[in-house]
C-alpha cells in the first residue's frame, strides 16, 4: 500500500503547484508500479496494464512500449476523464475531450491495422499435458504413480495425434516428483518414452548438486529430452519466488514456514538444442517482462511456460496468471505453449489471443500449433524506454514546480 501512497503523495504535491493531476499521477503511478516489480522482492501482480489482457485487439502497441506503456495509457485515459470533469466549460473542457478521443482512437486504429495485416508465420505443433496431480505427489508411495500417469497421458496424446504428431511434448513445473537426473530408474522411463515416441519432451523437476561442504544446492529445473540423445539441456529457474521458494533474509531459514530452499540458476533458458529454439519460463517468471525479453534477445522463436498453480485453488489467480502471458507474447510477438499442473494450460498466438485453453482441476491433454517469431520487436530491442520518458517528464515537472509557490 505504501507504493500507491507514494504516487498519490507525489501527484498531490505537484497539483498544489499547478501541475494537473491528470498528467502527473499517470506518470508517477507507472514509475512506482515498475519500481514495485523490480529487484528480488519485485511483484508486478495486479499491475494496471494487465487489466487489458482480455482485450488484446486494443493493446497491440505493447510490442512497442511493453507492459508499462499499457499501464501508462490506461492511466492517461483516466487522467483525461478527470480533466474533463475538473476543468471549466469552453476551451479547456473541449481540449480534454480531444485528448480523450485521441487516447481512445490511437490504440484501436493501431490494433486494427496490425491484426488486418498479420503476415503468415511458421508454426510448430506442441502437445501439452495437464495431469492434475495432487500435492501429495511427493510421498514415497505415490511418486511412481505420478510418473505412470504422466507417461500414460503422453502416450495417449501421441496416439490421438498420430496424423499430426507434435514435435514437442510439455509437462508442467516439477511434474516429476524426483531429482530426475539423479534417479536412474525414473530417468530411464522418461528416456524410454521419448525414444519410443520419437518426440522431444520438456519437463519440470527438482534437481540438486552436492557442494563441497556436503550440503545440497537444489534448483527448480526444466529439462529437454530428445529422441536417441536423452537429456540435452536443462534450465534452472532464475527468478525465484521470495518467501516461498527461498528466503531473501538467510536468518529466516531458521524457521519452517513451509518454504522451499531453492537456489537460482545462472544461465538463460533458451533451448537451442531444439529446432527452432524456444525459451523456458518457469511459473513466476512469466509475470515479469524482463525474462521473456531476454529469451527473445537470445534467439528464442517461441515461449514455453510451465507452472503449478494448484496452490491458488478455485480462485481468480489461475486466470490472472494466464492472462499476464498475453502481454509477454505481444511484447515479443511470438507464440507460447503453457502447461499447468491443474490449469490453466493454453496456447497463445503472437497477438495475445488464446487459441486453446483447458479447464482447471481436471486431467487434460491436447496439442496445437504454436506460431514462431519473425524477428524482434521494437520492445524486444529497446526494452522499457517508456519508463525513461516518464521519468524525464516527471522530473521536469518537479523542477518546474520547485520554482512555483504553493
Asked if 279 and 303 count as a contact pair (C-beta separation under 8 A), the reply is yes
Provide the terminal-to-terminal Cα distance of the chain, rounded to the nearest Å. 27
Cα gap 327→136, rounded to integer Å = 33
Cα gap 183→142, rounded to integer Å = 16
Distances (CA, A) of 340 to 94, 163, 321, 363: 49, 25, 11, 10
Catalytic residue chosen out of the listed positions 33, 36, 161, 173: 173
Q: At what angle do helices 21-36 and 385-402 cross, to 10 degrees?
A: 130
Cα gap 274→168, rounded to integer Å = 9
Catalytic residue chosen out of the listed positions 161, 237, 285, 331: 237
Q: Which residue has the cell 508411495?
A: 141
Asked about 402 being catalytic, the answer comes back as no
**Between vectors from CA 368 to CA 367 and to CA 370, what angle results, nearest 5°?**
130
Q: Which of 402, 365, 405 is nearest to 166 (CA)?
A: 365
Cα gap 56→45, rounded to integer Å = 18
Asked about 93 being catalytic, the answer comes back as no
Asked about 283 being catalytic, the answer comes back as yes
Report strand pairing: 364-371 vs 123-130.
antiparallel
Cα gap 150→286, rounded to integer Å = 24
Q: Alpha helix (H) ranges present in 37-142?
A: 62-86, 91-116
Instruction: For residue 365, give every residue at least 6 positions away whose Cβ sits within 8 Å of its Cβ, in sequence order, or none.
Output: 127, 128, 129, 130, 153, 154, 156, 157
Catalytic residue chosen out of the listed positions 33, 36, 283, 331: 283
- Catalytic amino acids? 173, 237, 283
Amino acid at each position: 500500500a505504501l507504493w500507491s501512497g507514494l504516487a498519490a503523495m507525489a501527484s498531490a504535491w505537484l497539483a498544489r503547484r499547478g501541475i494537473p493531476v491528470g498528467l502527473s499521477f499517470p506518470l508517477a503511478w507507472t514509475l512506482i508500479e515498475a519500481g514495485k516489480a523490480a529487484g528480488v522482492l519485485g511483484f508486478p501482480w495486479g499491475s494496471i496494464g494487465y487489466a487489458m489482457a482480455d482485450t488484446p485487439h486494443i493493446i497491440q502497441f505493447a510490442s512497442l512500449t511493453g507492459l508499462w506503456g499499457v499501464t501508462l495509457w490506461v492511466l492517461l485515459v483516466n487522467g483525461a476523464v478527470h480533466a474533463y470533469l475538473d476543468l471549466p466549460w469552453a476551451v479547456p473542457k473541449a481540449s480534454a475531450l480531444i485528448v480523450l478521443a485521441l487516447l481512445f482512437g490511437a490504440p484501436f486504429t493501431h490494433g486494427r491495422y496490425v491484426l488486418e495485416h498479420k503476415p503468415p508465420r511458421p508454426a510448430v505443433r506442441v502437445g501439452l499435458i495437464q495431469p492434475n496431480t495432487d500435492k501429495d505427489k511427493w510421498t514415497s508411495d505415490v511418486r511412481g504413480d505420478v510418473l505412470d500417469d504422466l507417461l500414460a497421458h503422453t502416450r495417449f496424446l501421441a496416439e490421438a495425434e498420430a496424423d499430426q504428431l507434435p514435435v514437442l511434448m510439455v509437462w508442467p513445473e516439477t511434474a516429476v516428483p524426483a531429482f530426475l537426473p539423479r534417479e536412474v530408474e525414473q530417468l530411464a522411463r522418461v528416456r524410454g518414452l521419448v525414444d519410443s515416441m520419437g518426440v522431444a519432451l520438456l519437463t519440470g523437476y527438482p534437481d540438486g548438486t552436492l557442494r563441497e561442504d556436503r550440503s545440497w544446492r537444489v534448483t527448480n529445473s526444466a529439462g529437454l529430452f530428445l529422441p536417441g540423445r536423452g537429456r540435452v539441456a536443462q534450465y534452472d529457474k532464475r527468478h525465484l519466488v521470495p518467501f516461498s521458494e527461498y528466503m531473501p533474509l538467510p536468518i529466516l531459514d531458521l524457521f519452517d514456514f513451509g518454504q522451499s530452499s531453492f537456489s537460482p540458476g545462472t544461465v538463460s533458458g533458451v533451448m537451442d538444442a531444439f529446432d527452432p529454439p524456444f525459451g523456458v519460463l518457469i511459473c513466476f517468471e512469466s509475470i515479469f517482462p524482463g525474462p521473456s525479453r531476454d529469451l527473445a534477445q537470445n534467439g528464442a522463436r517461441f515461449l514455453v511456460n510451465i507452472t503449478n498453480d494448484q496452490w491458488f485453488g478455485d480462485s481468480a489467480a489461475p486466470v490472472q496468471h494466464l492472462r499476464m502471458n498475453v502481454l509477454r507474447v505481444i511484447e515479443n510477438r511470438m507464440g507460447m505453449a503453457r502447461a499447468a499442473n491443474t490449469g490453466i494450460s493454453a496456447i497463445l498466438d503472437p497477438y495475445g489471443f488464446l487459441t486453446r485453453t483447458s479447464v482447471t482441476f481436471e486431467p487434460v491433454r491436447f496439442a496445437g500449433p504454436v506460431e514462431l517469431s519473425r524477428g524482434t520487436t521494437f520492445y524486444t530491442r529497446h526494452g522499457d524506454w517508456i519508463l525513461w520518458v516518464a521519468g524525464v517528464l516527471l522530473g521536469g515537472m518537479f523542477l518546474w514546480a520547485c520554482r512555483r509557490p504553493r
